[in-house]
């Protein structure tokens, strides 16, 4: 699944933010009278064939069109989300906000917030729960007062939390770049 149900059904739906709407790709119009046979005929002009690059639109042409569209949404096929996202813990409300890593990314983060609900309440609090686990383990990993074996296990656990399939791995990797004293 490209995104969770809440992100895709409650927030994004069929919205697709662009930096400039005049660059929006135009698709074929599908009407209620369009038959299955019609769809089979037009499908090759809409997207690439995932199995055969000689059938339908060429992958390189499709990628070029997508990039020229200048979407405000991060495309994980072309963009590394970690370049755009930073995280801000708010201890008073026990939340972690996604914020732009650089000011120039503010419109992209705003579009992702609007279309995916990235900073909706339940995610803010879930992130904070993972944040507190991370900070606790990292504190043990970096403390000279903790036995070496526990520091080693703590560092191993942090490596597991940063693994690609771990929940909130990007956030954990971001916090690894921040001095622990700034996170407390």
Per-residue pLDDT at 24? 67
Per-residue pLDDT at 40? 83
Indicate whether 94 belongs to any domain. yes
Could you tell me if 90 and 129 lie in one domain? Answer: yes
Indicate whether 5 belongs to any domain. no
Name the domain boundary from 68, 92, 115: 68
Could you tell me if 87 and 178 lie in one domain? Answer: yes
Could you tell me if 100 and 169 lie in one domain? Answer: yes
Backbone angles phi, psi at 135, to 5 degrees: -60, -40
Per-residue pLDDT at 6? 58
- Partnered with residue 97 across adjacent β-strands are 88
Give the total number of structural domains in the chain: 2
Q: Are 171 and 127 in contact (CB under 8 A)?
A: yes
Instruction: Report the alpha-carbon distance of residue 100 to residue 175 in Å, rounded.
Output: 14
Could you tell me if 93 and 178 lie in one domain? Answer: yes
Per-residue pLDDT at 1? 37
Q: Which of 72-81, 108-117, 148-157, 158-167 has the lowest mean pLDDT?
A: 72-81
| pLDDT at residue 146 tops 90 | yes
pTM score: 0.73
Average pLDDT over residues 135-158: 98
Q: Model confidence at 45, in pLDDT bands (50, 70, 90)?
A: confident
- What are the residue ranges of helices labelled H in 81-147? 106-116, 121-142
- Taking alpha carbons only, the member of 79, 86, 90, 80 closest to residue 103 is 86
Could you tell me if 112 and 28 lie in one domain? Answer: no
Domain hosting 35: range is 11-68
Per-residue pLDDT at 34? 87
* Burial bucket for residue 155 (CB in 10 Å: 0-12, 13-18, 19+): middle
Average pLDDT over residues 146-159: 98
Instruction: Report the alpha-carbon distance of residue 184 to residue 24 in Å, rounded.
Output: 44
* Burial bucket for residue 134 (CB in 10 Å: 0-12, 13-18, 19+): buried
Q: What does the pLDDT look like over 14-39, one tens digit per residue?
A: 566 666 666 667 666 778 898 999 88
Could you tell me if 144 and 175 lie in one domain? Answer: yes
């Amino acid at each position: 699944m490209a995104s969770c149900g809440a992100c895709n059904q409650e927030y994004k739906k069929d919205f697709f933010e662009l930096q400039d709407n005049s660059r929006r790709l135009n698709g074929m119009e599908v009407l209620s009278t369009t038959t299955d046979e019609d769809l089979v005929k037009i499908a090759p002009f809409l997207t690439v064939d995932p199995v055969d690059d000689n059938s339908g639109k060429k992958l390189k042409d499709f990628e070029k069109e997508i990039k020229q569209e200048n979407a405000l949404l991060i495309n994980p096929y072309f963009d590394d989300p970690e370049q755009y996202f930073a995280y801000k813990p708010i201890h008073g409300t026990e939340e972690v906000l996604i914020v732009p890593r650089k000011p120039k990314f503010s419109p992209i983060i705003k579009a992702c917030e609007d279309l995916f609900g990235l900073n909706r309440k339940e995610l803010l609090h879930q992130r904070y729960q993972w944040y507190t686990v991370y900070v606790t383990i990292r504190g043990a990993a970096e403390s000279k007062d903790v036995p070496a074996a526990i520091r080693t296990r703590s560092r191993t656990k942090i490596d597991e939390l940063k693994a690609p399939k771990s929940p909130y791995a990007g956030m954990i990797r971001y916090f690894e770049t921040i001095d622990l004293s700034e996170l407390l």
